[in-house]
Chains A and B, each alone.
Chain A
């Protein structure tokens, strides 16, 4: 079966750095997405990786290793507004999105 694993919950301190991991086992690979979802709001697109390596976008970076079936989202200079759930999703060989259950990130002052 197809599976996306990410930690259920993480806690970090304002101003610090946090890394949210995502591992996947899917039938084929056509890209990996990260979304942010604040409580009661729509998931919003953060990043897309299809090749190995690091993609940097401001305070957020996303890394992919296709050989390891692994990605992480790195958040720097954490702010209180970064408290949210972070969803990892992989597009499989049928171009269907397989979603993880999300990681709830709690930022403490």
Chain B
């Protein structure tokens, strides 16, 4: 049973729609992440929040807008997406220690997004 949940699991939207993806972690972690996973490609890090502050953007298009209201919740707001944005969007969390490098990321099941 994963400690990271994501809703919805599947989403179909038109290019003019606005939708939001939700992630919740029940592990008491202090960092949360959004990743994009496309077929046969490496995971692409989109956003990182540490202690509820965004620390990484990775040049993601502005049509993706993250929100982290507290350490347990993370949202990804979507608007005017393109068909090439269709992918699996994964949320992860971890407990950042003092530079040990051993922090393990725990993933949610993902939201399968299809943009028509």
* A-to-B contact residues, CB < 8 Å: 4, 8, 30-31, 33, 35, 40-45, 48, 50, 87, 89, 91, 95-102
Does chain A have a CB within 8 A of B45? yes
B62 at the interface (CB under 8 A from A): no
Inter-chain contact B42/A41, CB cutoff 8 Å: no
* B contact face: mostly helix, strand, loop, or mixed: loop
Cβ contact within 8 Å between A42 and B108: yes
Q: Which of A4, A97, A101, A102 contacts B105 (CB 8 A)?
A: A97
CA distance A95 to B94 in the complex (A): 13
Other A-B pairs beyond A40-B112, A89-B43, A91-B101, 5, CB < 8 Å: A33-B104, A42-B110, A95-B99, A97-B105, A99-B43
Residues of B in contact, count (CB < 8 Å): 20
Q: Number of A-B pairs whose CB atoms are under 8 Å?
A: 48
Q: Measuring CB to CB, which residues of chain B are less than 8 angstroms from any residue of chain A?
A: 2, 4, 40-43, 45, 56, 90, 99, 101-102, 104-110, 112
Given contacts A97-B45, A101-B42, contact A44 B101 (CB under 8 A): no
